[in-house]
């Protein structure tokens, strides 16, 4: 086990997701305590004190996001759980939705109480089937047990929770694109200012938090900020759910205490690399985070600050382990195909830049690369960065520049010899 | 009043302004495609990227001014990014300026020469899309030229409220498409999107491949389509580009009509009827004075008219509400004491025409009713019996309702069967052939100017009225 656990601290069984079992594990005591003893501001203060960082990708301090919303300022506030987990390589929120849906519901209740939000939404991606049934079932159970609805637990606090299924667009996972989609519009992200916490859903202050962030709120209120801070590192308190895929023996979702040695996590928890090969590269947190080489991660800890130091990020916690012998040109082609396909097309640089990069790499893979192609890819990546409406536009550039920076020789080889050095291998068969 | 620095110069901005507005107010041009002062901010073209010292690049159109901010609109970083944005925009744009109606007044062309100046650095094949997509009987869409600024969709949502356009699909295959069950053809303001389009994606079918815009010049005018009296530009060939062979009629015809921004009346918009002024003014014209259908010399016709006026005991006049303020004034001064005058409506709503709405269109389909009614009452349904002479000025007269036995003097600009039934017929000029003013329903007076010479034989009504009052010589 990769350190202490805060979320996956119970055995998963056929019924472990139900209300009865969740109650038996101490569920809904945090919200009961909060409604009895705490003021909304105290909850926000507790989360600020816990130093919880957003688990969706940007790692923005969750409590500081909430502080922008003023409870009781005479207008409706909204809370949205972002369960549109679309970043390639990421499937950790799915674990919570499937196995601990009430943890999310309770976390949302606490957050809604802190934010003075009467209505909450869970925006879940359309492809999720079992997670949707589990969370919808949990919401139904919670309503039946009066943990949702009017005057919860005899207090004056009322809260409704609506589960909304998206249609599977990557961009709807961006907070403002999600809101556009929830409003029934095309999932176009919005320009800031105004921030969503000032004018979000239906032009009202709205907090959009990742599923895992909200699930962590339950523990923070139940056990206190100090207990949360005791886990993890000084700058990255708590744990992260990491979804591991790629060339490892045991892919899956793991809870990792922040600060845990990376190599040990891969070797022990994930059962090491397939066929005992060397690690060529690791995508640390979804393909939008900059790729790291095997050498770079050798002595690295899994924490936000350690990743920032090497100019990457833990992002959405979607880790892809890439073994030696994999063709990085082909890998970038796959990534760019995704960005090209998923670009919403609203703003110019991403609409054209993603397709441009994709077509260039397609050509290189097809053996028709030209010497100026690498420079051209850098050009597109550079001018995609910081010029788009949302962060997902930048991400395509990051991904491309990240791989080019570290594996430029493979691209040069492919352009010069008209074929991949690794014969375009992506699969790594067990040997 | 926050004070901001743009390119090192201090300016007083207004609170609530964006950096783009503040810069433009200060006379500093920041290029934009998607931004339009009358539409909501979309911020999607990214052309207006500016640098704020200490904060990096962001779009000026969505950046509120704050005191002391230091904005750079022309730093090396901004210039490099503008070049890149133009590279992105032209990546899949066909650059078919040679056959594009927008060429010459296209933002993309202008910005390309101003900020980029180099050909596309891409070697990839361009994304192909629909050409000549039929949006309505008036508008064609070229999706390859479209830069998805969404001005047209925002116009139909925010201004004309027809909600007729939306975006289909995503990424670089996104296309503007009509919304099901909301045909753009039902939007009486649809042609504004052709002007709004910063490139040549939306094309007017009327104007399609008709002429290059640099052969044209605009003459400020007023739309006579309804009592709103929208300010318009009537575009026609420049004198130096008059064609001498082939089809000289082109020199005398309206190439297109566009709105002339007038905040007091129509803002930057006009309705489709205003685009179709050629249908009004380019009907077949009457050019010969006639006595009971027989062409005569002008002096003969005038002499006969004066005789009739002198002999009449109960003369009555139906005054045109398409007459300009000057013409109405000339009638009143010259003949007002002789005739009992009423206002006649030259034009009534046509079947299918929108009667009235909250944006521009008025139910009164005549341009100068306000000025005419200030002088005379509306014509009664039954004209008084005993009238022995009627002077009818302009169209729209129900000749069957005229008093029996009365003599008829008729002034009209167009060929009509009734011309030949009049005792005296006098051909007149039309609005595009003279200067004048109209007073709209709000009392706002707008002027129009002559675009073309009168056809030989036609006369200004103003001169005719004077000569009918006094036997002075009239010059055509």
The CATH number for B310's domain is 3.40.50.740
> How confident is the model over A161-167, as a mean pLDDT?
97
Nearest alpha carbon to residue A179 among A80, A60, A93: A80
3-class SS of residue B128: coil
Task: Tell me what pLDDT residue A431 has.
Answer: 46
Q: Are residues B168 and B317 in the same domain?
A: no
Q: Give how far B62 is from chain A: nearest CA, Å.
A: 7
Q: Print the domain residue range for B223.
A: 215-281
Q: How many CB atoms lie within 10 A of CB B68?
A: 9
Q: Are residues B258 and B354 in the same domain?
A: no
**Could you give the domains of chain A?**
19-229 (3.40.50.11540), 239-323 (3.10.20.600), 328-417 (1.20.1440.230)
Half-sphere exposure of B60 (CA within 13 A, CB side): 29
B113 within a domain of the structure (yes/no) = no
Burial class (CB within 10 angstroms; exposed 0-12, middle 13-18, buried 19+) of A428? buried
Contact B60, B49 (CB under 8 A): yes
- Range of weakest confidence among B91-100, B342-351, B371-380, B463-472: B463-472
Distance, in Å, from the CA atom of A45 to the CA atom of A38, rounded to the nearest integer, reads 11
Q: Give how far B184 is from chain A: nearest CA, Å.
A: 20
Identify the residue with better confidence: B247 or B22.
B22
Find chain A residues with C-beta within 8 A of B123's C-beta: 370
Q: Give how far A72 is from chain B: nearest CA, Å.
A: 26
Interface contact A186, partner B, CB < 8 A: yes
Boundary-marking domain end, from B248, B281, B314: B281
Optimal mutation site among B56, B124, B153, B165, interface A, most CBs of chain A within 10 A: B124
Boundary-marking domain end, from B227, B255, B281: B281
Identify the residue with better confidence: B142 or B405.
B142
Burial class (CB within 10 angstroms; exposed 0-12, middle 13-18, buried 19+) of B98? exposed
Distance, in Å, from the CA atom of A220 to the CA atom of A238, rounded to the nearest integer, reads 10
Nearest to A360 among B124, B148, B171 (CB): B124
Nearest alpha carbon to residue A238 among A227, A223, A249, A224: A227
User: Is residue A183 predicted with pLDDT exceeding 80?
Assistant: yes
Optimal mutation site among A172, A184, A351, interface B, most CBs of chain B within 10 A: A351
Contact A302, A227 (CB under 8 A): no
Please, what sign has the CA dihedral across residues B353, B357, B361, B364? positive
Optimal mutation site among A352, A380, A382, interface B, most CBs of chain B within 10 A: A352
Tell me the pairing of strands B340-344 and B294-295: unpaired
Contact A354 B84 (CB under 8 A): no
Optimal mutation site among B20, B44, B169, interface A, most CBs of chain A within 10 A: B44
Nearest to B148 among A351, A354, A383 (CB): A351
Contact B171 A354 (CB under 8 A): yes
Q: Are residues B259 and B341 in the same domain?
A: no
Task: Tell me what pLDDT residue A429 has.
Answer: 53
User: Is residue A373 predicted with pLDDT exceeding 70?
Assistant: yes
Task: Tell me what pLDDT residue B476 has.
Answer: 47
B296 within a domain of the structure (yes/no) = yes
Count, residues in chain B: 476
Contact B85 A359 (CB under 8 A): no
Find chain B residues with C-beta within 8 A of A345's C-beta: 148, 167, 169-174
User: Is residue B158 predicted with pLDDT exceeding 50?
Assistant: yes
| Count of pairs with CB atoms under 8 A, one residue in A, one in B | 98
Distance, in Å, from the CA atom of A43 to the CA atom of A305, rounded to the nearest integer, reads 26
Distance, in Å, from the CA atom of B442 to the CA atom of B229, rounded to the nearest integer, reads 10
Q: Are residues B327 and B228 in the same domain?
A: no
Distance, in Å, from the CA atom of A337 to the CA atom of A347, rounded to the nearest integer, reads 18
B359 within a domain of the structure (yes/no) = yes
User: Is residue B447 predicted with pLDDT exceeding 80?
Assistant: yes
Contact A135, A178 (CB under 8 A): no
Which chain A residue is nearest to residue B44, measuring alpha carbons? A347
Confidence of residue A155 (pLDDT cuts 50, 70, 90): very high
Contact B393, B331 (CB under 8 A): yes
CATH number for the domain spanning B35: value is 3.10.20.740
Nearest alpha carbon to residue B63 among B87, B35, B100: B35
Distance, in Å, from the CA atom of A205 to the CA atom of B180, rounded to the nearest integer, reads 33
The H or E element that residue B11 is part of is strand B9-12
Crossing angle for the helix pair A348-365 and A391-417, nearest 10 degrees? Answer: 20
3-class SS of residue B352: coil
CATH number for the domain spanning B162: value is 3.30.70.20
Contact A191 B59 (CB under 8 A): yes
Q: Which residues on neighbouring strands pair with residue B436, listed in sequence order?
A: B448
B328 within a domain of the structure (yes/no) = yes
Task: Tell me what pLDDT residue A426 has.
Answer: 80
Interface contact A345, partner B, CB < 8 A: yes
- Alpha helix (H) ranges present in B253-377? 272-275, 277-281, 298-311, 325-335, 369-375
Q: Are residues B430 and B343 in the same domain?
A: yes
Distance, in Å, from the CA atom of B89 to the CA atom of B109, rounded to the nearest integer, reads 11
For residue range B171-229, list pLDDT tens digits in order. 999 999 999 999 999 999 999 999 999 999 999 999 999 999 999 999 999 999 999 99
Q: Give how far B65 is from chain A: nearest CA, Å.
A: 12
Q: Which residues on neighbouring strands pair with residue B217, listed in sequence order?
A: B236
Q: Are residues B264 and B168 in the same domain?
A: no
CATH number for the domain spanning B271: value is 2.20.25.90
Find chain A residues with C-beta within 8 A of B44's C-beta: 346-348, 389
Q: How many CB atoms lie within 10 A of CB B337?
A: 8
Q: Are residues B355 and B407 in the same domain?
A: yes
Optimal mutation site among A345, A380, A393, interface B, most CBs of chain B within 10 A: A345
Report the alpha-carbon angle A175-A180-A183, nearest 5. Answer: 125
Contact A355 B127 (CB under 8 A): yes
B108 within a domain of the structure (yes/no) = no
Find chain A residues with C-beta within 8 A of B92's C-beta: 352, 355
Contact B170 A386 (CB under 8 A): no
Q: Are residues B305 and B159 in the same domain?
A: no
Nearest to A351 among B121, B125, B171 (CB): B171
Q: How many CB atoms lie within 10 A of CB A120?
A: 25
For residue range B285-323, list pLDDT tens digits in order. 999 999 999 999 999 999 999 999 999 999 999 999 999
What tokens appear for B135 in the block?
């949006």
Distance, in Å, from the CA atom of A93 to the CA atom of A286, rounded to the nearest integer, reads 13
Find chain A residues with C-beta within 8 A of B89's C-beta: 348, 352
> How confident is the model over A96-110, as a mean pLDDT?
98
Confidence of residue B117 (pLDDT cuts 50, 70, 90): confident
Nearest alpha carbon to residue A63 among A43, A44, A41: A44
Boundary-marking domain end, from B281, B306, B326: B281
Contact A228, A50 (CB under 8 A): yes
Interface contact A193, partner B, CB < 8 A: yes
Q: Are residues B425 and B446 in the same domain?
A: yes
User: Is residue A102 predicted with pLDDT exceeding 50?
Assistant: yes
Distance, in Å, from the CA atom of A247 to the CA atom of A425, rounded to the nearest integer, reads 12
> Residue A219 phi/psi, 5° resolution?
-65, -40
Contact A345 B127 (CB under 8 A): no
User: Is residue A430 predicted with pLDDT exceeding 70?
Assistant: no
The beta strand positions in B54-192, using DSSP E, are 56-59, 70-72, 133-134, 139-141, 165-168, 175-178
User: Is residue B27 predicted with pLDDT exceeding 50?
Assistant: yes
User: Residues of A362-394 as b/e, b for ≥16 C-beta within 10 angstroms?
Assistant: ebbbeeebeeebbebbbbbbbbbbbbbbbebbb
> Residue A339 phi/psi, 5° resolution?
-60, -40
Contact B148 A345 (CB under 8 A): yes
Nearest alpha carbon to residue B134 among B176, B85, B82, B74: B176
Distance, in Å, from the CA atom of B154 to the CA atom of B165, rounded to the nearest integer, reads 8
Q: Give how far A340 is from chain B: nearest CA, Å.
A: 7
Q: How many CB atoms lie within 10 A of CB B59?
A: 26
Nearest alpha carbon to residue A82 among A64, A99, A58: A58
Interface contact A379, partner B, CB < 8 A: yes
Nearest to A347 among B44, B64, B173 (CB): B44
Nearest to A346 among B41, B44, B64 (CB): B44
What tokens appear for B314 in the block?
């109960």
Confidence of residue B385 (pLDDT cuts 50, 70, 90): confident
Optimal mutation site among B84, B86, B118, B198, interface A, most CBs of chain A within 10 A: B84
Q: Are residues B264 and B338 in the same domain?
A: no
> How confident is the model over B240-247, as a mean pLDDT?
89
What tokens appear for B472 in the block?
């002075």
Contact A344, A189 (CB under 8 A): yes
Q: Are residues B345 and B368 in the same domain?
A: yes
The beta strand positions in A101-249, using DSSP E, are 117-124, 160-165, 206-210, 239-246
B109 within a domain of the structure (yes/no) = no
Find chain B residues with C-beta within 8 A of A346's C-beta: 44, 148
Contact A396, A402 (CB under 8 A): no
User: Is residue B4 predicted with pLDDT exceeding 50?
Assistant: yes
Q: Give how far B259 is from chain A: nearest CA, Å.
A: 29
Burial class (CB within 10 angstroms; exposed 0-12, middle 13-18, buried 19+) of B13? buried
Find chain A residues with C-beta within 8 A of B198's C-beta: none
In chain A, the percentage of residues whose pLDDT exceeds 70 is 99
Domain count, chain B: 4
Confidence of residue B249 (pLDDT cuts 50, 70, 90): confident
Preceding amide of A193 cis, omega within 30:
yes
Q: Give how far A374 is from chain B: nearest CA, Å.
A: 12
Nearest to A356 among B44, B124, B167 (CB): B124
Nearest to A352 among B47, B121, B172 (CB): B172
> Residue B167 phi/psi, 5° resolution?
-110, 135
Instruction: Please provide the DSSP assignment of A185-220 as one string.
Output: S------SSSPTTTS-GGGS-EEEEEHHHHHHHHHH
Distance, in Å, from the CA atom of B199 to the CA atom of B104, rounded to the nearest integer, reads 10
> How confident is the model over B17-21, as a mean pLDDT?
96
> How confident is the model over B80-84, as a mean pLDDT?
97
Task: Tell me what pLDDT residue A393 has.
Answer: 86
Contact B262, B181 (CB under 8 A): no
Contact A30, A6 (CB under 8 A): no
Nearest to B91 among A341, A347, A356 (CB): A356
Contact B43 A347 (CB under 8 A): yes
Contact A348 B174 (CB under 8 A): no
Q: Are residues B438 and B421 in the same domain?
A: yes
Optimal mutation site among B61, B63, B88, interface A, most CBs of chain A within 10 A: B88
Interface contact A59, partner B, CB < 8 A: no
Nearest to B171 among A186, A343, A370 (CB): A343
B277 within a domain of the structure (yes/no) = yes
B230 within a domain of the structure (yes/no) = yes
User: Residues of A38-62 as b/e, b for ≥16 C-beta within 10 angstroms?
Assistant: bebeebbbbbbbbbbbbbbbebeeb
Nearest alpha carbon to residue B218 among B323, B105, B108: B105
Which chain B residue is nearest to residue A169, measuring alpha carbons? B170
B46: left (phi over 0), alpha (psi -120 to 50) or beta: left
User: Residues of B228-239 as b/e, b for ≥16 C-beta within 10 angstroms?
Assistant: bbbbbbbbbbee
Contact A349 B59 (CB under 8 A): no
Q: What is the ipTM for the molecules in this complex?
A: 0.94
């Amino acid at each position: 086990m990769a350190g202490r656990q805060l979320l996956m601290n119970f055995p998963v069984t056929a019924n472990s997701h139900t209300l009865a079992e969740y109650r038996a594990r101490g569920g809904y005591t945090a919200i009961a305590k909060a409604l009895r003893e705490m003021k909304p501001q105290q909850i926000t203060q507790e989360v600020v004190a816990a130093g919880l960082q957003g688990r969706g990708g940007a790692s923005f301090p969750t409590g500081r996001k909430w502080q922008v919303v003023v409870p009781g300022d005479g207008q409706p506030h909204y809370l949205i759980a972002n369960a549109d987990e679309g970043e390639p390589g990421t499937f950790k929120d799915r674990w919570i939705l499937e196995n601990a849906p009430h943890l999310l519901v309770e976390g949302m209740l606490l957050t809604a109480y802190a934010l003075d939000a009467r209505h909450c939404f869970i925006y879940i991606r359309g492809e999720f089937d079992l997670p949707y049934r589990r969370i919808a079932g949990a919401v139904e159970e919670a309503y039946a047990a009066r943990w949702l609805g009017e005057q919860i637990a005899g207090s004056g606090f009322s809260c409704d929770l609506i589960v909304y299924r998206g249609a599977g667009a990557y961009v709807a996972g961006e907070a403002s694109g999600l809101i556009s989609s929830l409003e029934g519009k095309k999932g176009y992200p919005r320009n800031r200012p105004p921030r969503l916490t000032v004018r979000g859903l239906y032009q009202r202050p709205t907090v959009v938090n990742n599923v895992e962030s909200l699930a962590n709120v339950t523990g923070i209120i139940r056990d206190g900020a100090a207990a949360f801070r005791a886990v993890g590192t000084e700058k990255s308190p708590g744990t992260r759910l990491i979804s591991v895929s790629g060339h490892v023996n045991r892919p899956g979702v793991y809870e990792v205490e922040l600060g845990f040695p990376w190599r040990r996590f891969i070797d022990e928890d994930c059962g090491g690399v397939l066929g005992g090969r060397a690690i060529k590269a690791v995508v640390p947190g979804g393909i939008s985070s900059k790729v790291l080489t095997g050498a770079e991660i050798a002595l690295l800890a899994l924490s936000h600050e350690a990743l920032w130091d090497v100019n990457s990020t833990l992002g959405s916690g979607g880790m892809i382990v890439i073994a030696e012998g994999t063709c990085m040109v082909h890998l970038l082609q796959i990534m760019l195909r995704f960005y090209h396909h998923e670009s919403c097309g609203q703003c110019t640089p991403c609409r054209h830049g993603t397709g441009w990069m994709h077509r260039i790499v397609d050509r290189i893979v097809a053996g028709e690369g030209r010497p100026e192609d690498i420079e051209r890819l850098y050009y597109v990546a550079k001018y995609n960065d910081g010029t788009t409406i949302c962060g997902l536009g930048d991400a395509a550039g990051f991904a491309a520049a990240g791989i080019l920076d570290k594996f430029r020789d493979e691209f040069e080889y492919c352009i010069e010899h008209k074929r991949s050095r690794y014969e375009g291998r992506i699969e790594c068969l067990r040997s | 009043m926050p004070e901001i620095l743009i390119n090192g110069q201090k300016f007083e901005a207004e609170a609530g302004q964006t950096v783009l507005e503040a810069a433009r107010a200060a006379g500093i041009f920041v290029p934009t495609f998607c931004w339009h002062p009358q539409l909501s901010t979309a911020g999607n073209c990214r052309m207006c990227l500016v640098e704020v010292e200490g904060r990096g690049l962001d779009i000026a159109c969505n950046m509120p001014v704050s005191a002391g901010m230091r904005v750079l609109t022309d730093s090396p970083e901004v210039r490099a990014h503008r070049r890149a944005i133009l590279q992105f925009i032209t990546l899949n744009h066909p650059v078919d300026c040679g056959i594009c109606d927008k060429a010459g007044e296209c933002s993309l062309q202008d910005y390309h020469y101003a900020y980029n100046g180099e050909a596309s650095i891409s070697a990839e094949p361009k994304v192909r899309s629909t050409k000549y997509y039929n949006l309505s009987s008036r508008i064609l869409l070229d999706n390859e030229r479209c830069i998805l600024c969404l001005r047209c969709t925002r116009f139909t949502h925010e201004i004309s409220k027809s909600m007729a356009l939306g975006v289909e699909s995503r990424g670089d295959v996104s296309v503007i498409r009509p919304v099901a069950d909301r045909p753009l053809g039902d939007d009486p303001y649809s042609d504004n999107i052709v002007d709004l389009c910063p490139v040549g994606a939306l094309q007017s079918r009327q104007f399609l491949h008709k002429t290059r815009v640099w052969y044209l010049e605009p003459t400020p005018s007023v739309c006579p389509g309804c009592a709103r009296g929208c300010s318009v530009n009537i575009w026609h060939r420049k004198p130096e580009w008059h064609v001498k062979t082939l089809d000289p009629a082109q020199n005398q015809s309206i190439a297109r009509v566009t709105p002339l921004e007038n905040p007091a009346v129509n803002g930057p918009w006009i309705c489709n009827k205003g685009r179709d002024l050629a249908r009004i003014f380019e009907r077949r014209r009457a050019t010969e004075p006639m006595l009971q259908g027989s062409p005569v010399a002008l002096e003969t016709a005038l002499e006969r008219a004066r005789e009739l006026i002198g002999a009449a005991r109960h003369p009555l006049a139906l005054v045109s509400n398409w007459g300009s303020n000057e013409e109405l004034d000339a009638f009143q001064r010259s003949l007002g004491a002789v005739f009992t005058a009423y206002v006649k409506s030259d034009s009534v709503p046509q079947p299918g025409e929108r009667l009235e709405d909250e944006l521009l269109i008025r139910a009164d389909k005549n341009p100068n009713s306000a000025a005419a009614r200030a002088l005379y009452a509306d014509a009664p349904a039954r004209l008084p019996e005993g009238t022995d002479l009627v002077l009818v000025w302009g169209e729209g007269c129900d000749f069957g309702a005229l008093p029996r036995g009365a003599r008829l003097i008729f002034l009209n600009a167009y060929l009509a069967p009734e011309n030949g039934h009049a005792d005296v017929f006098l051909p007149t000029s039309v609005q595009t052939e003279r200067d004048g003013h109209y007073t709209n329903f709000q009392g706002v007076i707008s002027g129009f100017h002559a675009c073309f010479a009168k056809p030989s034989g036609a006369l200004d009504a103003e001169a005719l009225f004077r000569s009918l009052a006094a036997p002075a010589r009239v010059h055509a």
